[in-house]
A and B are shown apart, each in its own frame.
Chain A
Amino acid sequence: MKFFSTFFLILFLINTSVFAGDKEDNIEQKGKLELLSQLNNTPAPSKLVDLNSRKFRAIVFSTFVPGSGQTFLGNQLKGIGFTLGFYGTVVTAVLAHANMVSREERIEVLTKEYRAAGNFPTAERVWRRIEFERGNRDNDHDRRQIFTIAAAGVWVLNMIDIIFLSSDAGLDEFASIPQNKNFNINFVADDDYSGIEFKLNLP
């Protein structure tokens, strides 16, 4: 639970910091220092982070969809690995959570049945089912914890990789289809377009 909360707290902080500098479509927003420098005809202060760089976009992509930033920068295999790893663990954690909730509800029903039992054999039979469901529920709980931690771990590794370890393969080289391939699918980003690009070389 702590890992889960920490994971989403980090996600929230990054999300906030990313979109704090967000700007409306086609409307350029300037900070106070920039406006002051413009009024005084002095050079604008240099930006600490270039929000329009490919690297920064890749970081934003990887924040929300782990692996997509790596793919965006041209490291496709690594990107696919992170994406599959993250969503695989997340889906498993969600399934384990759903199973756990179902078991909880089943235990609630059995508990009512147990309290209403009028004799020992019935109470004993219901009690054994409650214990059986508790065992399964605890297994689902453990599974959920393990895969949530794993998902958080994959996400953190993904962020470390995209920030410190991933190099940019370049837009042209990445977007073009290699000569030995007839079909390619890529993430692409131009000035006014970002999305998924399918390319097919006709014979």
Chain B
Amino acid sequence: MINMKRISILFFLLFICLLIVSCSEPVDIIDATHYDRVPRPVSLTAVADTTNEGSKYVVLSWAVNSTNNLRNFEVYRRLNVSNNFASRLFIEEMTFTDTLFTPTDSIAFYYVQPIGIDKFIGRNSDTLQVRLK
């Protein structure tokens, strides 16, 4: 004859074991890597001037704290206040001269986006406002 009490005890102990095993401590989350995975362009500066022929130009320059996992940069520009930002070009150097302006342009906004060797697009630089001369 099957002893129901002993079977109940076995199930009870099994339940307790499962309960204790399932009460594990929470696993900590991973470290955030996206902040410095690709170095962020800093110290973005611009110099606006006009050539002898009367053409407007802007010389942009920036710096990075490290060159680890850094392939190139993409420069974004917005002309005047009402327009949207558009990609200006990809560049590997940390300086860029923009000469593509019309005589009516009076203000430009720039930011630089770093691109990593692993193709991860890093954090943008601060946006810079430039008054054209």
Contacts and interface: CB of A to CB of B under 8 A. Distances in A.
A120 interface: yes
A119 B26 contact: no
Interface of B: 1, 3, 5-6, 9, 12-13, 16, 19-20, 22-23, 25-27, 29-30, 32, 34, 38, 119-124
B122 A107 contact: no
A118 B5 contact: no
B12 A100 contact: no
A80 B9 CA distance: 25
Given A19-B9, A111-B30, A114-B30, A119 B120 contact: yes
B20 A5 contact: yes
Given A8-B19, A24-B3, A104-B27, A120 B123 contact: yes
Question: What 3 pairs between A and B have smallest CB-CB spacing?
Answer: A123-B34, A119-B121, A120-B123
Nearest to B121: A119
A124 B23 CA distance: 31
A171 interface: no
A12 B12 CA distance: 9
Contacts of A120: 34, 38, 120-124
A153 B102 CA distance: 79
Contacts of B38: 120
Interface of A: 1, 4-5, 8, 11-12, 15, 19, 22, 24, 97, 100-101, 104, 107, 111, 114, 117-120, 123-124, 127, 130-131, 134, 137-138, 141, 144, 148
Nearest to A22: B5
Contact of B29 (A5, A111, A118, A141): A111
A1 B122 CA distance: 42
Nearest to B17: A8
Q: Which of B22, B34, B38, B120 has the most CB of A within 10 A?
A: B34
Given A4-B23, A111-B29, A117-B34, 20 more contacts: A4-B20, A5-B20, A8-B16, A11-B16, A12-B13, A15-B12, A22-B5, A24-B3, A104-B26, A104-B27, A111-B30, A114-B30, A118-B121, A120-B34, A120-B120, A127-B32, A134-B29, A137-B26, A141-B25, A141-B26
B25 A12 contact: no
Q: Which of A8, A15, A22, A148 has the most CB of B within 10 A?
A: A8
A15 B10 CA distance: 11
